[in-house]
Structure 1
């Protein structure tokens, strides 16, 4: 079903389910190319409740009266002339009622708006009476969405097919090309199609295999007039010549604002139309504004108009607008589209107006105006500067691909080194958020060289950007090279300014990489404090980054929250996902997994919306880590896969290591220590496969626990000694307690107890309920196996409460199982836990509790032993028990309390 994605299929089946039971009527509409016909064909093929009468409209409105109705009656097996007048609707209703007596019929009429008026009237009358009388018959009609619904059908319920979501459109491209499309090309196709499936397929169809694979340049514009007209089809035929000017003027007016509509008075005056003249069917008037019913038709009208008519429309619009404020920018834009070739004076005026901070323009329109000013600029340096300024606005608007295209345009003409440096600085920032991070690093380094001496602050920003890219890639050597000191430190009035903050951040970051946290603390603390003293989002993001390096999660949360608020206030969509990333990491480091999940979910949405795949990968990694303690196996797997997909394509070592740690922690929580140890071993032990230098040590406590529980404590000592160095640095408040826990796991039987108690004492000094609960659990396990049940119950009870408090369901089940194994029934155990089992699982649990073997259970329930094995494994996992003995005890406790199985 071309263009019909899973949500649309679900919509069809919801409709059909209703038709099978109560009948129903729906009018399906949408713009040209939205998939109305495919939607109806899929519904007709999928209906199994009764006969399907599927008819298509004829060629137009010149058909004889009642010809449409006769076609439908023939499809229903009725021949002869159709009765006229009011009896036509009665005749159709009688046919539907008679058919419904045997099985509910489904009537599918495609393009009902093209039927003759008498047939539409009969169809509408019968449809209304089907709804009112409860006849078990279904009617699905499609009508064009670029015009008003005909009066005969206007009272029927409407289902509008909206555009495909970006993810759905991307999957359609992959399906159509068998995956042989470059990701960047796919993104351009999805953007150009604006969710229209027919247009998307037409765009794919016009590209060669080399263009689809990204090996040859794409045609510009990607969606030209011919393609758009092909998708629009005959939707614009029959427009009177005197109305065509109004259509073009409306399309031209919307081009300047970027909105779907424009002020009605402006459009009418520019087109020379009176206020009382009726609008063409393709336009709609709402609250004083005129717009197209279908965005596709607006694009097709503009792209298909002769250039001289387009320029005339823009001249007329410019002449009707004032010269000041936002309208003044729009007037200059219209003037710019009314000229051909370079226009230096007009370009300068347009660039100045678009750059004026006093003008209340969002980033999108500023980008449009600055890009047009660059096109009209002859001077190479000024042209590059304006393209770069336009790209910066595209980044702020969250349109990274458009920013890269504008930066490519800035490269197309020779320009002085500072201009080229500014463009490369911005390119590095775009690629760091949405591209290969090695490419981002090279762009930053090139920018730093081009800007040195001309703009030392920008050069410092570029060097720090190169270090950020190398950090994301897990390349400490490149990171240190980017952070190498250059020039003398700022002095005099600038000593506390932005350059000093940059230098402090560079010095602190360099010291961290060299393991000298004593030297890092001072500079990084100054970065934190100076960032928190301002409201500039970029400096607040630096503050949050520095706080995370220091292990000061409180300051990191504060700086991240303020950066988020500042980015929203400034309208910087591009900075929101980064601020949410720092917030999520800060909450994660603090052990607040639920808050981390909340921030990461919002961050993932904004990263997707603004086209920042790398940032999205980090949010996926955080979500995987948060879900790994909650027992959501599929959720963890999905986020791990998504993070690794981008991480491997773009070289994101940090995100990859976090995702792999999440998968291992989920294994450990689910009682699969061997699998967890196998995942984590290469990440934390020395060697070429060791994970990201700033992340692997955080996973060491998980690895040590997994290795010991898997019976391989010999794998852990080297990693523990490396972790001891990390804990001594003071950059991770949790590390000292975790180190003592690791040593307790590896210690002899008599030495472990004091180490666990010391670890718990250290936990008292920091926040982090989850890590404390893990230590309580391990301590309780050790005590129970040392036959000290009373003390064990105390620690296991604390562990259970701690896990339940932070939503760590799998770990809570482990603690509950240990309590039961020690003869204690944890609060909430028994009937509450057993109630989560399915009826079949309950029956199997009861049989096993009575002492039956799996074979005996299978014979008793008339199922295979394999089925019993499968259900029993799920019972054990759901109840947190590890043996039949524990299951017998749990069921027995339930029966003693009178709970019903």
Structure 2
């Protein structure tokens, strides 16, 4: 998420000081305008304030970095955070820290640490930014707590981020800093989403949306809508996710919000993946995660790699998946994402030879036990259970699938819970949700295929969703037609629409 929002002590009201007026205008653009314009305006304000108000100038630079982050502009982000040579101790520009006791030391450490995140040097970033987090107390002002929470997010310290942002929210409310609340809620909802707290993330995102719309903060609306779309995407309501992403893109495209656009497209791809549209999900994610000019946000693309790998494996694009697993491994080894090691082992299991897959799945589950994220944990249980069932090990498969089903239900992941329940029935367990009506004569596998056909899925899409061959789908579909007395896909759809109530 963005590093900061509005500098301290600056309101949207116009001021008699032209430099402060420029700063206020830049902050307005950051909330409701093209973020490249916001970045340029804030840099101009920083230059104007450098001599007369150095603290305000630094606030303007941090806000400009926030605009560059929102725009997905890596080069501008780096340039904004280059502190230049130190006028006190002579430290050179770039990555050189100040001498001990230098009055510029804290500012330079802040700039260099944030820049190190972009270079994926998280050890250096943690060394430089970690002390700032430790100095923050619950009595700090809202803007200080918000910034600290944003830094914790950058470093992958999700519990700390959630705690600091919750404190920032309480502080802003008590100080009646209403204009700052939507941005804090966006950061907090994103932290909760990353940590697997989907219900809380949705509640905070929707609260922020209501306020941001009232205040006319369209950029915050786009950010919050993207987070909400990611939460809704696990429920499998593809049409709802698509409508929300359209709202995100309407603002993101005109205001250059690369971060919101990336999160929105990832949400849509995840809903497509959950709905069995593997090829669409893989095609949507490919330009966002693969290296190249179209790659998604420089600080976020890696988050969508596990979804891309799964979509590729299930849609006969395993070569693309293998390449991205190698890139994701570099990210996972940096230690900035607590869920990444487990996701990496799951990705490896999906493409590995059968003799290696089981060990990789078990390694993934061991990593999950040491990290937050119940939804991702459940996805690994589901993938492992499906793998075991297809190797005719139903007793072991049922153990994994039960764990997946219960975890998905707790997360509110309705569609994924349906998948787990269907797999569990196919593994020989009665879940209490057996089919009634015209489908009662079918096996669990045949029920899934019948419903997918009735919803318009092709045999290829069904085969990818169920990890079976197209020929097997055709075999089951012939039996479905025979059992139900229909002769065509249209007849099956009509029967289910009118007779399966």
Q: TM-score when scaled to structure 1?
A: 0.47
Report the counterpart of residue 614 of structure 1 in structure 2. Answer: 219
CA-CA distance at 1:848 after TM superposition: 6.8
Deviation of the 1:673 alpha carbon: 1.0
Partners in 2 of 1:439 and 1:626 — Cα distance?
A: 30
- Whole-Å separation in 2 of the counterparts to 1:644 and 1:779: 35
Which of 427, 439, 451 is residue 822 of structure 1 equivalent to?
427
Q: What is the distance in 2 between the residues matched to 1:495 and 1:610?
A: 43
For residue 820 of structure 1, report the CA deviation from its aligned partner: 1.7
Separation in 1, partners of 2:101, 2:176:
30
Q: Within the alignment, does 1:507 sit opposite 2:119 as a pair?
A: no
Tell me how many residue pairs correspond in the alignment: 451
Q: CA deviation at 1:759?
A: 0.5
Which SS does the other structure have where 1:729 is aligned?
coil
2:280 is the counterpart of 1:684: no
Q: Secondary structure at the match of 2:406?
A: helix
Q: 1:552 aligns with which of 157, 180, 193?
A: 157
Question: Which residue among 580, 586, 590 is the counterpart of 2:195?
Answer: 590
Report the alpha carbon displacement of residue 781 of structure 1 after superposing the two structures with TM.
Answer: 1.0
Structure 2 CA distance for partners of 1:847 and 1:424, relative to 1, 3 Å: same
Give the SS at the match of 1:716.
Answer: helix
Q: How far does residue 501 in structure 1 lie from its aligned partner after superposition?
A: 5.4
- 2:52 aligned residue: 454
- Indicate whether 1:750 and 2:355 are aligned: yes
Of residues 390, 415, 418 in structure 2, which corresponds to 1:810?
415
Q: How far apart, CA to CA, are the structure 2 residues paired with 1:623 and 1:723? A: 25
Task: Determine the structure 2 residue equivalent to 1:440.
Answer: 38
Note if 1:651 corresponds to 2:249. no
Q: What does residue 307 of structure 1 align with?
A: none
The match for 2:390 is 785
The equivalent residue for 1:236 is none
How far the C-alpha of 1:872 sits from its partner, in A, is 8.9
Matched residue, 2:62: 464
What secondary structure is seen at the aligned counterpart in 2 of 1:635?
helix
More strand by share: 1
Structure 2 residue aligned with 1:737? 342
User: Distance between the aligned counterparts of 1:660 and 1:871, measured in 2?
Assistant: 23
Is 1:474–2:79 an aligned residue pair? no
Alpha-carbon distance in structure 1 between the residues aligned to 2:370 and 2:265: 29
> What displacement does 1:531 show?
3.3
Q: What SS is found at the alignment partner of 1:538?
A: helix
The separation in 2 between residues aligned to 1:775 and 1:581, in whole angstroms, is: 28
What is the deviation of 1:500? 6.0
Contact persistence 2:302–2:328 (CA under 8 A): yes
Relative contact order higher in (CA < 8 Å, ≥ 6 apart): 2
Residue 47 of structure 2 contacts residue 57 of structure 2 at CA under 8 Å; is this kept in 1?
yes
Contact persistence 1:624–1:639 (CA under 8 A): yes
Q: Summarize the alignment of residues 629-668 of structure 1 with structure 2, pairs less than 5 Å apart.
A: 629-668=234-273
The 1:694/1:428 distance shift into structure 2, 3 A limit, reads same
Q: CA 1:782 to 1:767, structure 2 compared with 1: closer, same or farther past 3 Å?
A: same
Q: Distance in 1 between matches of 2:116 and 2:252?
A: 27
Change (3 A) 1:501 1:537: farther
Counterparts of 1:640 and 1:500 in 2: how far apart (Å)? Answer: 43
Distance 2:136 2:31 in 1: 22
Cα deviation for residue 421 of structure 1 reads 2.4
Corresponding residue SS for 1:751: helix
Query: For residue 399 of structure 2, what is the aligned residue in structure 1?
Result: 794
Change in Cα spacing, 1:452 to 1:654, as seen in structure 2 (3 Å) is same
CA contact (8 A) 1:773 1:800 kept: yes
* Distance verdict in 2 for CA 1:815–1:459, change over 3 Å: same
Instruction: Point out 4+ residue stretches in structure 1 off by more than 4 angstroms.
Output: 489-492, 494-497, 499-502, 846-849, 867-873, 880-888
Shift in Å, 1:868? 12
SS in 2 for 1:587: helix
Aligned residue number for residue 95 of structure 2 = none
What is the CA RMSD across the aligned residues, in angstroms? 3.2
TM-score normalised according to structure 2 size: 0.83
Q: What does 1:343-422 correspond to in 2, within 5 Å?
A: 392-393=10-11, 395=12, 403=13, 406=14, 419-422=17-20
Q: Distance in 1 between matches of 2:478 and 2:376?
A: 29
In structure 2, the residue matched to 1:122 is none
Deviation at 1:528, TM superposition (A): 2.1
Cα offset, 1:760, TM superposition:
0.4
Supply the distance in 2 between the matched residues of 1:484 and 1:636 (Cα, whole angstroms).
39
Aligned partner of residue 532 in structure 1, secondary structure: coil
Cα pair distance change 1:796/1:532, threshold 3 Å: same
Q: Is the 8 A contact 2:138 2:167 kept in 1?
A: no
Deviation digits for residues 617-662 of structure 1 (CA, Å, limit 9, x no counterpart): 0100001000000122232112111111111010010110000000
In structure 1, runs of 5+ residues without a counterpart are: 1-388, 396-402, 411-418, 835-841, 858-866, 892-899
Give the equivalent residue in structure 2 for 1:538: 143
Aligned to 1:728: 333
After superposition, the Cα gap between the structure-2 partners of 1:427 and 1:669, relative to the gap in structure 1 and judged at 3 Å, is same
More helix by share: 2
CA positional deviation for 1:548? 0.1
Per the alignment, residue 712 of structure 1 pairs with 317
Aligned to 2:28: 430
Separation (CA, whole Å) in 2 of partners of 1:460 and 1:848? 67
Deviations 1:73-113 (Å, cap 9, x if unpaired)? Answer: xxxxxxxxxxxxxxxxxxxxxxxxxxxxxxxxxxxxxxxxx
Post-superposition offset of 1:795: 0.8
Displacement, 1:530?
2.8
- Preserved CA contact (<8 Å) 1:501 1:526: no
Deviations along 1:352-405, one digit per CA (max 9) or x if unpaired, are xxxxxxxxxxxxxxxxxxxxxxxxxxxxxxxxxxxxx9x954x3xxxxxxx5xx
**Aligned equivalents of 2:415 and 2:318: distance in 1?**
23
- The answer to whether the 8 Å contact 1:434/1:612 transfers is yes
Distance 1:885 1:824 in 2: 25
SS at match of 2:179: coil
Cα deviation for residue 718 of structure 1 reads 1.9
Matched, 1:701 2:299: no
Whether the aligned pair in 2 keeps the contact of 1:545 and 1:582 (CA below 8 Å) is yes
For residues 490 and 569 of structure 1, the distance between their equivalents in structure 2, rounded to whole angstroms, comes to 39
Q: Secondary structure at the match of 2:31?
A: helix
